[in-house]
Chains A and B, each alone.
Chain A
Amino acid sequence: MPTTDRKPILLDFEKPLVELEARINQIRELAEENEVDVSDQIHQLELRAVQLRQEIFSGLSPTQRLQVARHPRRPSTLDYVQAITDEWVELHGDRCGADDLALVGGIARFAGRSVVILGHQKGRDTKDNIARNFGMASPGGYRKAMRLMEHADRFEMPILTFIDTPGAWTGLDAEQMGQGEAIAYNLREMFRLNVPILCTVIGEGGSGGALGIGVSDRLLMFEHSVYTVATPEACASILWRDVTKAPQAAEALKMTAHDLKHLGILDQLLPEPVGGAHADPLKASAVLKENLLRHLAELDQMTNAQRREARYQKFRSIGVFIEAAT
């Protein structure tokens, strides 16, 4: 978990809140110096601060949500693994010559049962981020994921995937190793697996790089996460030919959890602690665990064939069009 003793990283829209909190501290110090009792007033101001935080975070614009989703302290896959599992063995390698640190996977004990967990992994600091390629997975990452999912299917372990990537890696090496093929293969094969698959967008869901571990029986998403066909920056530079139009693109793309619930793509929206998941990672983890268990229990009731059929139908029904008689 991100430690709380470090200096918090604040987003620009949190400014009024920071100012208010600073004033509360100032008053408190002054009162102590002058030995005046202002505890009532301070209590009032503190209540106001909580209220303000709630107001700010309940009315975030898509661009602001994206900032929360990309927050450097936002809990990552390995943070959640640590918080929600009792045992964890990380496994490495795609058996084709690569081990991608941007996509991690392993076997865990989750509420008493064995599961396979996979997820994009961003770094905690610059050095870590470089090693993890900022959570942008290479073909080797998707192939490692597939290898572990096959393992899960063979040993009848449910699969939990965590999405948190700006997108799949777009370097020369990625093209050479078949980034398109690696993702495509996962999309098809994930429909074939018998075990339950639960996918949670914990931060950024960036396009095909996210979908490459995103074919699932249930799609869960944290409140301030985003899931999008293209990053607002890419979309703005392609459609507006102007990257500064990213906020308009963020709005137009309908990428927030609320939008996706409305479009019927999302099955479960996970509420975040006030101030975002990074403000209280343990609380966010508890919400995640509780919801994963509930959905897993539902999926346990179904036969393999029923689950596969339902998974197919879930994706089959996505799309909006008009059908005119011909």
Chain B
Amino acid sequence: MSLFDWFANRRKADPTSREGQEREIADGLWTKCESCSVLTYTKDLQANQMVCLECGHHLRVYSEERIHQLLDPGTWMPLDQGLQPTDPLKFRDRKSYSDRLRETQEKTGLVDAVQTGLGQLEGLPLALGVMDFQFMGGSMGSVVGEKFTRMIERATATRLPVVIVCASGGARMQEGMLSLMQMAKISGALERHREQRLLYIPVLTHPTTGGVTASFAMLGDIILAEPKATIGFAGRRVVEQTLREKLPENFQTAEYLLFHGFVDAIVLRTQLKRTLGQLIRLHQPVKALHSQRSEMTATLNTVDQPSTLQNLLLDY
């Protein structure tokens, strides 16, 4: 069979070639970039942390993969995996909340919209929370609030820095006021963490909006964001409706927030682990630095120029 025949057969077998293409995408072998539409072999894309090799667009990453990207292999120790959502309001919109929860849990294999735990990043111990947008839009209900609060409390007690990767549409309406109050609860826990002079770095990824923006996402000592991520308080549609006018194109992007002074830096995903490591090391107490430095000087006893030593320490 010639190549031409193969194509002809294929077209015959699958008249709507577009469907065929999407099936292959669904199979997961190839992934189409939502920005430049280029198909990339998924394994290559994963190796580049789901950043498009063609245009640099940051594709969505869910919690499991994010943890894998940020932590040193084998160091992830999940916390409070037994916490499960329930339906305290017996909430029903077009579907009951209990059904929605069950279906989402089956589809995603997740219990709720966040994973929390302890681990090491470039050898540095930390508490890490990662929100998962595929679970009801990463919305924050009682479980998200409780898991974050317990993680932050543990970090405070054990003097660990906290990193939270945000991806959420905001408070989960199906838990009503219980969801809204999680904003205060987590902020309270962060206040205690802060009081102990411990470092907290939220990483804002696409999208970070609503009640998450109006609480822990904006409470970082240092706030990082991924390129082009949507970050805002009200949804773009709401703002448009409020004003009845067109909004600037970059409105509510990470770049917009950087321009207006609400994030410290936009960091490429491929640089995120390194940047977090660098920031955490820069905040380590002098004592810890001393012990590291003496180890370093011991091994580098031939280096006597302080500037060289400093460079080496920064790289370390």
Contacts and interface: CB of A to CB of B under 8 A. Distances in A.
Interface stretch (A51-59, A144-152, A169-177, A298-306): A169-177
Interface stretch (A16-24, A68-76, A183-191): A183-191
A207 B194 CA distance: 25
Q: Is the interface of B mostly helix, strand, loop or mixed?
A: helix
B188 A184 contact: no
Nearest to B91: A252
Given A178-B218, A252-B91, A265-B177, 7 more contacts: A175-B232, A178-B260, A184-B216, A234-B238, A315-B188, A321-B86, A324-B84
A188 B186 CA distance: 9
B157 interface: no
B81 interface: yes
Given A179-B214, A254-B89, A324-B82, A260 B187 contact: no
Interface stretch (B4-12, B18-26, B44-52, B168-176): B168-176
Interface stretch (A87-95, A225-233, A275-283): A225-233
Contacts of A185: 218-219
A323 B176 contact: no
Interface stretch (A27-35, A102-110, A235-243, A289-297): A235-243
A316 B89 CA distance: 19
B251 interface: yes
Interface of A: 168, 170-172, 174-181, 183-185, 187-189, 191-192, 207-208, 211-212, 214-215, 227-230, 234-235, 238-240, 248-249, 252-255, 260, 263, 265, 311-312, 315-316, 318-326
Given A185-B219, A189-B191, A265-B177, A208 B182 contact: no
A214 B187 CA distance: 13
Given A180-B213, A320-B142, A321-B142, A191 B187 contact: yes
Contacts of B216: 184
Contacts of A319: 142-143, 145-146, 178, 181-182, 185
Interface in B75-106: 81-86, 88-89, 91-94
Contact of A318 (B181, B194, B238): B181
A244 B88 CA distance: 25
A321 B85 CA distance: 5
Contacts of B171: 207-208, 229-230
Contacts of B238: 170, 234
Interface stretch (B60-68, B239-247, B290-298): B239-247
Nearest to A265: B177
Contacts of B191: 188-189, 191-192
A166 B217 CA distance: 23
B180 A253 contact: no
Nearest 8 Cβ contacts at the A-B interface: A180-B213, A170-B234, A319-B142, A187-B187, A320-B88, A239-B93, A184-B218, A179-B233
Nearest to A169: B242
A286 B238 CA distance: 39
B167 interface: no
30 contacts: A171-B242, A176-B260, A178-B261, A178-B262, A179-B234, A183-B233, A187-B183, A187-B219, A188-B188, A188-B191, A192-B195, A208-B215, A211-B180, A211-B181, A214-B184, A215-B187, A215-B188, A229-B173, A229-B175, A239-B93, A253-B176, A254-B89, A254-B177, A315-B185, A315-B188, A318-B182, A320-B86, A321-B84, A324-B82, A325-B82
Interface string B182-204: 11110111111011000000000
Contacts of B84: 321-324
Contacts of B192: 191, 312
Nearest to B238: A170
Interface string B143-168: 10110010000000000000000000
Contacts of B218: 178, 180-181, 184-185
Contacts of A187: 183-184, 187-188, 214-215, 219
A171 B252 CA distance: 12
Contacts of A234: 238
B247 A229 contact: no
Contacts of B242: 170-171
Given A175-B233, A175-B252, A321 B243 contact: no
Nearest to B112: A321
B179 interface: yes
Contacts of B185: 315-316, 318-319
Contacts of A253: 89, 173, 176-177
Contacts of B207: none
B93 A316 contact: no
